[in-house]
Amino acid sequence: MNPRDRILAAIRDGLTTPRPEPEAIAAEAVALLADPDQARPRLAAPDLAEAFGIKATALGTTLERVARLADIPAAVGRYLAAHGLPPGLALQPTPALTDLDWNGVAVHQGIAPDEPAALGMALWGIAESGSLVIHSGPETPILLSFLPLHHIIVLHEADLLPHLEDYTARMTGQAAPRNAILITGPSGTTDIEGSYVRGAHGPGYLHVILVTRQG
Amino acid sequence: MTAAQPSFKARAEAALADRTLKLAIDRTTGNAERKRAAALAAFPEFEAARARGKAIKDHVIAHLDHYLEMFARNATASGAQVHWAADDAEARAIVTRICLDAKAKIVTRAKSMLGEEIGLPHALADAGIERVETDLAEHIIQLAGEHPSHIIWPAMHRTREQVADLFREGHNPPPEAEDPATMVQSARRVLREKFLGADIGISGANFLVADTGATCTVTNEGNAELTTTPPRIHIVTAGIEKIVPSTAHAMALLRLLVRSATGGELTQYTTFHCGPRRPGDADGPEEMHIVLVDNGRTKMLADEFREMLRCIRCGACMNHCVVYRQIGGHAYGGTYPGPMGSVLTPVLDGLAGSRDLPHACTMNGRCQEVCPVGIPLPTLLRAWRSRGWREGLEPGAVRAGLGLWARLARRPALYRLASRIGVRVLRLFGRGGWIGSLPLAGGWTGYRDLPRPPGRTFMEQYRADQARKEVRK
Amino acid sequence: MSGQPNPRVGLFVTCLVDAIRPQIGFATIQLLEEAGCVVEVPQGQTCCGQPAFNSGDDADAAHLARQTIAAFEGYDQVVLPSGSCAATMVHGYPELLAGDPVWAARARAFAAKTHEITSFLVDVMGFRPDGRRLSASATYHDSCSGLRDLGVAAQPRALLAEIDGLEMRGLEGNDVCCGFGGTFCVKYSSISNAIVTEKAEAIEKTGADLLLAGDLGCLMNMSGKLHRRGAKTRCFHTVEVLAGLADGPAIGEEDRG
């Protein structure tokens, strides 16, 4: 027998309980997640944006609100200036961002190993935990979220979801991307004597620009 | 474990004598305990979440063959290559062969306790491949040439001063200062080059998601993504018990895992890896290999240790263990330390070589109390003691002593007589209310005084009282 | 509440109380009688079997389980001044005898009426001590088996709160093991010593006159360490204080009888 068959046979030998049909197993699996509110934290505030903000900032993420996408270049310019960074950054190659008028901020594509700052977009935000969701794809290089020291993420307020399960529900029936990542705060480590240091390998700074209006 | 290694007791003695180690343990476990308590206080639904997490793991274990086949099918459909390894040697051989076939020179690795369990670091070295540990703690212990002493904080036995010494030697240029922030920056700089120059990235998995075929890693540093994205090949090694039915089930367990491990709610990065780079993807590996490892797990499934398969490797049991907090992780001698390690090490290394581990426990039950999936760790440790007893592994003196005591305890009248004699003999060794030194009881009186018994046992006094009452009637 | 005002109670003394501190047994009888129980001490008892159970010697442990059940199952209730021995009976016996067609049911029935003394007084008898006075400060250590296996935490504190003049002080790490662990403390004596040293430091930090706990094994460990360190803390089993015996000799103080 090959290792696969040996392992599966050993499992079947070890399991003495009756083996139900796959449909019954699937139904049991679904039932395990019934009434999710009983077993998950309540939101930090009734309003999704407020709840998200409370959780995100508690982790060291900074947050600002702009009315529309067109306000982003100015917001980015202010952020870079406030952190003493040169007025330029790597940009996620997605039309929603590349089509903006970047007058005054030198944007470029491609991410250098020591990129000072980069701007990307989140697909969703999760209010429960203050997390941002990104999926890999042609317009979403994963390294854009990990190489820069300052990571700025644009999130539409309309894309805020209450709980982690609301994200998984959105993905049901969809093809899973190569990488789906929940980003919850800037990179950190407590590996030296338990003392918290930001910017271990990933970004030391995470800034969210919340866009309140669509279009 | 080989005979040449010092015994558990010798390792424990060395650890107890090391005050720097104690300081390091107290700092990290104390912090972890406080943060976990705060996270639970802010999550009143934790008990319900724990019951759910336990039920999810039990469900998966009861249908493990079904879910493993589902996972393998979906992972293969995503473009990943799935390998099966019955034991550590097979797992090492599979990974090494992939590395050699790819002519890999540099392999980056994101912390994985399974990798330690199967001896991957040594196997890569033996194959002549440069291994770069990217988790900061693993980087520290790689520089020190050590093994992890904790499953969440592998370098928790090292103080900042000791880390500074290691970085001064191992980083070029050395860090400019010895504060943690500067040292972390130095590691960031050193490892950044390695991430981008690696041929292969190896990670573990916190979950294997059956219905998508994705593997899930959780890190706070972001090293898993930097390990798995730039190289041409991503290899995952994972135990077969890591399966969950769906991403939503993984989320339910993540809420338990992170709070129990670090007191956070989610780690900074929770990443699902599903197959290699897709057509048009901006980055990602061209190949993904998943090695599913049994290594004793199907054996546990079939015997009294099945419940141990629920373990999600949070480390809460060791953070709350009075023994771990005195001796640290290395004294245990296995891949996994603390209470969970004392259950697992006999599975992995054999009971004969690790007989002390299930005994070096006060059975106080705190590990079970904090376990996010309700594993009855004391019961499982006792199961190893029973097996050791049945297999005759207990030292002869212990067996003889206990046997003599049991023969007495089976005969109440004789037992009462022995107690009466016993307390009278014991009294001879003390003065006043205490016995300061007692032959054959140095384990007690070497460290603490023994209350000196009064001249008569309870039973003697009680029976005398009863007799007097009878007379009065 | 049991609904039974005067249950017949079989007292299991425990081997440590029998040999080292008989007064705890008599204090237990006194409290049970005050609460309205009719107390007997069956002579068929020896040890609950915990040393064998925790050493993996299941055959001897099962033998002692059967012996103890046979000696006690005729009583309405079984009470012990020890959470650890009680936990062995409540959880260990049914586990040890689970595969035995005759004894499994008897073990379960026996477990259902077996109690640690303070939880029995409060939960079953609804007992509150009356007219107690003790001018002292005390701190309380939660012995692990009683706390985690039997849920003994609020009951001893509720009883102690009835004593006028007794000031209870919080103990840091009150629910952390003292390092006794039965045979653990002699098999791994240096580890046990490190644990009990931290416990003694925490006790001394409270500055309390008295250390109270519900298990003599833990009390011997902690009092022995405190005495070796030269601490003046006086150690008693909870029932001794409840029975008004805290004016007499504490553990390790020269007995007068």
Looking from the CA of C164 toward its CB, the CA atoms found within 13 Å total 4
Over residues A39-66, the pLDDT tens digits come to 999 999 999 999 999 999 999 999 999 9
A124: closest CA of chain B, how far (Å): 14
Q: Collapsing DSSP states into helix, strand and coil, what is residue B293?
A: strand
Whether B285 contacts B228, CB under 8 Å: yes
CA distance C139 to C223: 13
Question: What's the pLDDT band for C3 if we cut at 50, 70, 90?
Answer: low
According to the model, what pLDDT value does residue C215 have?
Answer: 98
Which helix (H) or strand (E) segment is C139 a member of? strand C133-140
From CA B126, how far away is CA B119, in angstroms rounded? 11
Q: Which residue has better confidence, A194 or B306? A: B306
* Chain C positions in Cβ-Cβ contact with residue B441 (cut-off 8 Å): 186
DSSP 8-state symbol, B388: H
Judge whether A5 lies within some domain.
no
Residue C247 CA to residue C250 CA, distance in Å, equals 8
What pLDDT, on a 0 to 100 scale, did the predictor assign at position B87? 98
A173 touches chain B (CB under 8 A): no
The reply to whether A83 touches chain B by the CB within 8 Å rule is no
Q: Which residues pair with B273 in a beta bridge?
A: A179, B215
- Tell which A residues from 46 to 65 touch B, by Cβ distance under 8 Å: 55, 59
SS3 of B51-70: HHHHHHHHHHHHCHHHHHHH
Determine the pLDDT at residue A215: 56
Residue A4 falls inside a structural domain: no
Q: What is the pLDDT of residue A129?
A: 97
Would you state the pLDDT for residue B244? 98
Which of B324, B359, B363 is the best substitution to test chain C (most C C-beta atoms within 10 A)? Answer: B363
Can you tell me the distance from the alpha carbon of B158 to that of B179, in angstroms, rounded to the nearest whole number? 14
Residue B298 buriedness (CB in 10 A; 0-12 / 13-18 / 19+): buried
3-state DSSP assignment of residue B436: coil
In angstroms, the separation between the Cα of residue B184 and the nearest Cα of chain A is 6
Contact B225, A181 (CB under 8 A): yes
Verify whether the Cβ–Cβ distance A176 to B272 is below 8 Å: yes
**Length of chain B (residues):** 473
Give the separation between CA B440 and CA B401, rounded to whole angstroms: 12
Q: How far is residue A89 CA from its own chain's centroid? A: 20
- Please give the C-alpha separations between residue B421 and each of B418, B429, B440, B454, B457, in angstroms, as whole numbers: 5, 14, 17, 12, 9
Contact C52 B412 (CB under 8 A): no
Cα torsion angle, C88, C89, C94, C97, sign? positive
The number of folded domains in chain A is 1
d(CA B378, CA C149): 11
- Verify whether the Cβ–Cβ distance C254 to B433 is below 8 Å: yes
Alpha carbons C176 and C174: distance in angstroms, whole number: 6
Average pLDDT over residues C69-85: 98
Rounded to a whole number of angstroms, the distance from the CA of B89 to the nearest CA of chain A is 12
CA distances from A154 to A64, A70, A134, A184 (A): 10, 12, 11, 14
Question: How near does any CA of chain A get to the CA of B263, in Å?
Answer: 12
Of B16, B14, B36, B9, whose CA–CA distance to B261 is shortest?
B36
Q: Retrieve residue C68's tokens.
A: 């103890």
- Burial degree of B401 (CB within 10 A; 0-12, 13-18, 19+): middle
Establish, for the pair of chains B and C, how many residue pairs have beta carbons separated by less than 8 Å: 199
Contacts of B267 in chain A (CB under 8 A): 184
Question: CB A191 to CB B136 under 8 A?
Answer: yes
Domain that holds residue A204: 43-211
Domain assignment of residue A51, yes or no: yes
Buried residues in C202-213 as b, exposed as e (16+ CB within 10 A): bbbebebbbbbb
- pLDDT of residue C4 exceeding 90: no
Task: Report the CATH fold assignment for C129-242.
Answer: Rossmann fold (3.40.50)
Q: Is A145 on the interface with B (CB under 8 A)?
A: yes
Contacting subunits of B (3+ beta carbon pairs below 8 A): A, C
Does any domain span residue A2? no
3-state secondary structure of B200: strand
Is A64 a member of any domain?
A: yes
How does C117-143 read in b/e, with b if 16+ C-beta sit within 10 Å? bbbbbbbbbebebeebebeeebbbbbb
C165 has a pLDDT exceeding 90: yes
Nearest-CA distance from A131 to chain B in Å? 8
Alpha helices by DSSP H, B199-246: 223-228
Instruction: Report residue B408 as tokens.
Output: 């007495």
Q: List % helix, strand, coil for chain B (3-state, nearest 5).
A: 55, 10, 35
Residue B356 token pair: 């002390």
How many Å apart are CA B72 and CA B51, to the nearest integer?
A: 28
- Taking CA atoms, B205 is separated from B218, B458, B461, C174, in Å, by 8, 58, 64, 37
Residue with tokens 């014991």: B426
pTM of full prediction above 0.90: yes
Q: What domains sit in chain B, N to C, each tagged with a CATH number?
A: 43-295 (3.40.50.10420), 401-472 (no CATH)
CB within 8 Å: C189 and B443: yes
The Cα–Cα gap between B444 and B449 comes to 7
The per-residue pLDDT for B191 is 95
Q: What pLDDT score was predicted for residue B206?
A: 98
Contact C57 B457 (CB under 8 A): no
Contact B222 A7 (CB under 8 A): no
Mean pLDDT, chain B cut into blocks of 10 residues (473 residues total): 72 97 93 96 97 98 98 98 98 98 97 97 95 96 96 94 95 93 95 94 98 97 97 98 98 98 96 97 97 98 97 98 98 98 97 96 98 98 97 92 94 96 95 93 95 96 94 82
Asked if the Cβ–Cβ distance from C193 to B452 is below 8 Å, we say no
Q: How far apart are alpha carbons C95 and C104 in whole angstroms?
A: 8
- From the list B69, B86, B195, which residue is nearest A3 (CB)? B86
Q: Which residue of chain B comes nearest to A21, CA vs CA? A: B66
b/e per residue B338-351 (b: at least 16 CB within 10 A): bbbbbbbbbbbbeb
- The 3-state DSSP class for residue C145 equals helix
Please tell me the distance from the alpha carbon of residue A205 to that of residue A61, in angstroms, as a whole number. 7
**Residue C257: which pLDDT band, with cuts at 50, 70 and 90?**
very low
- Residue A44: its chain B contacts at CB < 8 A? none
State whether residue C99 sits within 8 Å of chain B by CB.
no
Give yes or no for C227 touching B (CB within 8 A).
Answer: yes
The token duo for B74 is: 């979906």
Two structure tokens written together for A99:
């089509």
pLDDT, position B204: 98
Name the residue ranges covered by the structural domains of chain C.
Answer: 8-123, 129-242
Q: Which chains reach chain A with 3 or more Cβ–Cβ distances below 8 angstroms?
A: B
A near C: at least 3 beta-carbon pairs less than 8 Å apart? no
Predicted confidence at residue B124, as pLDDT, reads: 96
Q: Whats the size of chain A, residue-wise? A: 215
The number of beta carbons lying within 10 Å of the beta carbon of residue B171 is 17
Over residues C15-38, the pLDDT tens digits come to 999 999 999 999 999 999 999 999
Judged by CB atoms closer than 8 Å, whether chains meet at C53 and B382 is answered as yes
Assign B216 to helix, strand or coil. strand
Gap from C235 CA to chain B (nearest CA, Å):
11
Confidence at residue C254, expressed as pLDDT on a 0 to 100 scale: 79
Average pLDDT over residues A122-148: 97
State the pLDDT at residue A17.
Answer: 79
Q: Check pLDDT > 70 for residue A1.
A: yes
pLDDT range class, residue A18, cuts 50, 70, 90: confident
Predicted pLDDT at C255: 58
> DSSP secondary-structure letter at A137?
B
Chain B hits for A90, CB-CB cut-off 8 Å, are none
What CATH number is attached to the domain comprising A193? 3.40.50.10420
**Residue C149 to residue C143: CA distance in whole angstroms:** 10
Strand order in the sheet with A150-156: A62-66, A205-211, A150-156, A117-121, A88-91, A106-108
DSSP A193: T
Q: Does B323 touch chain C (CB under 8 A)?
A: yes
C36: left (phi over 0), alpha (psi -120 to 50) or beta: left
Task: Please indicate if any CB of chain B lies within 8 Å of the CB of C203.
Answer: no
**pLDDT for res B299:** 97
DSSP C183-241: THHHHTHHHHHHHHHHHHHHHHHHT-SEEEES-HHHHHHHHHHHHHTT---EEEEHHHH
**pLDDT of A163 over the 80 cut:** yes
Are the C-beta atoms of C177 and C142 separated by less than 8 Å?
no
Cα separation, B320 vs C142, whole angstroms: 16
Asked if C190 lies within 8 A of B459 by C-beta distance, the reply is no
pLDDT band at C48 (very low <50, low <70, confident <90, very high): very high
Please tell me chain C's helix, strand, coil percentages from 3-state DSSP, rounded to the nearest 5. Answer: 50, 15, 35
Tell whether C56 lies on the interface with B, counting CB pairs under 8 A: yes
- Looking at the complex, does the CB of residue B86 fall below 8 Å from at least one CB of chain C? no
Q: Does A40 touch chain B (CB under 8 A)?
A: yes
Cis amide linkage into residue B173, ω under 30° from 0? yes
Instruction: Using alpha carbons only, give the angle B371, B377, B379 rounded to the nearest 5 degrees.
Output: 140
